[in-house]
Structure 1
Amino acid sequence: MCRLTLCLLLLVGVSVGVSVGVSMGVSVGAHLTPGTHHIQRRQAAPRGADISTSCLRCICEARQCDWQQGCQGGACGGYRITEPYFNHSNITTEVPLYGDRTFETCTVDPKCAITVVRLYMRALATDCDENGTIDCDDMMLTHYYGIEGCIGVRDYAEFTNDWARYSACIGSG
């Protein structure tokens, strides 16, 4: 027996998209075709990419890039990096120079914070708009919404002040 909404959608011939989250937030898409009982699987969204200097600058500008604010509300530095984000970058093991840095000391130092963002994006940047490529827009969405939260949020994000500042920056080159 299926849920009433799903049954109605299938009866009127509307395709239903289903997204399933798996470990590390990899999105595996599925597409149900009316009248069938099989699922056609799509490839998981690409993950990981190098970030350009201009993209780094614009992601920082989106949050006004205020390095004087320190740590507030669990986010630190000009990039407003959170502790889980810092930990996912693996900076303390990947870069010997920063091996002794803590979340609080690294994220308020522009050079260390930039390295955190670079490492995070290299490992976890997500194709948030699911167009098959990872560009700066995807990295902006990954940075702000995380690897699991960035899929399908662009329409919402475009109405935020952060996105307006980011767009103005990225548009100016």
Structure 2
Amino acid sequence: MSAWRAGQGRPGPQSCSAGMRDGCSIVLLLLATSGYAVFVTNLHAACFRCLCHAANECSTNRACSMGYCGPFSISHIYWADAGRHVLPDDHPNPKEAYETCVQDYDCATNTVTGYMEKYGRDCNGDGVTNCDDYVMIHYNGGGSCEKPITDKLYKKRYNSCRAAAIAVD
């Protein structure tokens, strides 16, 4: 089967060789029923809690400050890069939709997921893409995730949350 990436359209029958028709049919069926959902490895509820805890202790009550909003401290550029997620029935006016989405925990997690779908990778070179990488991506941006986290409070909050999450698992 030819290579296929999200955003390039569904692979069609022309992508499948004659000997692979049954396998391709299954893949096409899975793609059609999945709605193109991309699974982001190791991005789970505990990781989301640690990402927002590191950002601002998961506060949804703080007003936008210095260009960052919501429990994950998401910037307008990050939100746009992640796919401009909006609340159900919300009009996607860039300023208002951004602020209402990223201040809502569920919409903000959709935004973070969209960002990680786009930029998720092994940033620390340990051979595994997990929450340690996602926190580096979230803090440094998708194109600079190899950089260390320099904000000591951010790093301390993440590490304490991560240790607590591991103890629960």
* TM-score computed with the length of structure 1 as normaliser: 0.63
Matched, 1:125 2:120: yes
Secondary structure class of the residue paired with 2:127: coil
Aligned equivalent of 2:21: none
Residue in structure 1 matched with residue 162 of structure 2 by the alignment: 170
What is the identity, as a one-letter code, of the residue corresponding to 1:120? Y
Contact (CA 8 Å) 2:82, 2:115: kept in 1 or not? yes
Q: Does 1:106 align with 2:101?
A: yes
How far off is 1:105 after superposition?
1.3
Higher strand share: 1
Equivalent residue letter for 1:165: R
- Per the alignment, residue 70 of structure 2 pairs with 77
Question: Paired residue for 2:88, among 88, 93, 97?
Answer: 97
What aligned pairs does 1:1-173 form with structure 2 within 5 A after superposition?
49-50=40-41, 51-62=43-54, 63-92=56-85, 97=88, 100-101=91-92, 102-153=97-148, 157=149, 160-173=152-165
1:45 corresponds in structure 2 to none
**Corresponding pairs, count:** 121
Q: Distance in 2 between matches of 1:109 and 1:137?
A: 24
Structure with more helix by fraction: 2
Runs of 5+ unmatched residues, structure 2: 1-38
Following the alignment from structure 1 to structure 2, what is the Cα–Cα distance between the partners of residues 159 and 144? 9
State the Cα deviation string for residues 109-149 of structure 1 (Å, max 9, x = none).
11111111112112212321123321101000100111122
Give, in angstroms, the shift of residue 53 of structure 1.
0.5
Pair 70,159 (structure 1): closer, same or farther in 2 beyond 3 Å: closer
**C-alpha deviation, 1:159, in angstroms:** 6.5
Structure 1 alignment gaps of length 5 or more? 1-47
121-130 or 70-79, larger mean C-alpha shift: 121-130
RMSD: 2.2
